């Protein structure tokens, strides 16, 4: 093959040069998106931990109210009839307070689970972006090898691997 023809803009060198520039640009974008989704996943995981801690605090508060309710019920057994109404009202108050605390704790646990789910979804998307970036980086390296060796089958492999990278990027974009 004529070496001068290969250096023409429409020859192998020209096609690979344009393809490499496009792949580098798209790859940089994919790399940025991978980092951004990983950061978001970390923030969601942090929010999940915060909500889990808040829920734990509520459950501890619930347990403290249960202890007080039990003491009030025990107190009713030990005191004379004149003081029983005091302990009975305290027991009912603690039962009522426990119901509110339980609802708050369950709500916080649900929020924690939602943040965990968001984190997992972001990490999945991060992995897709990272896979797409890796495929494009390999395609760029293969383009250099194809250019140096003048192997047309490698040029075709560059285009095929580029397609894989773009497909993975599309999957990441559409959150698949």
Residue 9 has pLDDT above 90, yes or no: no
**Portion of the chain with pLDDT greater than 90, in percent:** 92
Phi and psi at residue 166, in whole multiples of 5°? -70, -35
What's the mean pLDDT in 30-47? 98
Distance (Å, whole) CA 7 – CA 78? 101
What's the mean pLDDT in 39-56? 98
Tell me the whole-structure pTM to 2 decimals. Answer: 0.82
Torsion of CA 153, 155, 156, 162, to 10 degrees: 140
Provide the pLDDT for residue 10.
Answer: 74
Residue 27 has pLDDT above 90, yes or no: yes
Cα end-to-end distance, the chain, whole Å = 44
- Asked if 51 contacts 94 with a C-beta cutoff of 8 angstroms, the reply is no
Provide the pLDDT for residue 52.
Answer: 98
pLDDT 10s digits, 86-133: 999 999 999 999 999 999 999 999 999 999 999 999 999 999 999 999
Provide the pLDDT for residue 6.
Answer: 55
């Amino acid at each position: 093959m004529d070496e001068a023809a290969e250096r023409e803009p429409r020859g192998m060198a020209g096609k690979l040069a344009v393809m490499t520039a496009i792949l580098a640009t798209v790859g940089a974008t994919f790399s940025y998106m991978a980092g951004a989704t990983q950061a978001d996943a970390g923030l969601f995981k942090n929010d999940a931990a915060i909500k889990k801690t808040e829920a734990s605090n509520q459950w501890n508060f619930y347990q403290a109210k249960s202890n007080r309710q039990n003491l009030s019920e025990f107190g009713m057994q030990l005191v004379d009839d004149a003081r029983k109404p005091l302990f009975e009202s305290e027991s009912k108050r603690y039962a009522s307070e426990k119901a509110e605390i339980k609802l708050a704790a369950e709500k916080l646990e649900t929020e924690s689970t939602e943040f965990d789910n968001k984190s997992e979804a972001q990490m999945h998307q991060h992995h897709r972006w990272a896979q797409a970036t890796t495929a494009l980086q390999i395609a760029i390296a293969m383009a250099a090898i194809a250019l140096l060796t003048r192997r047309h089958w490698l040029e075709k492999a560059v285009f095929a691997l580029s397609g894989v990278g773009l497909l993975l990027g599309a999957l990441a974009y559409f959150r698949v």
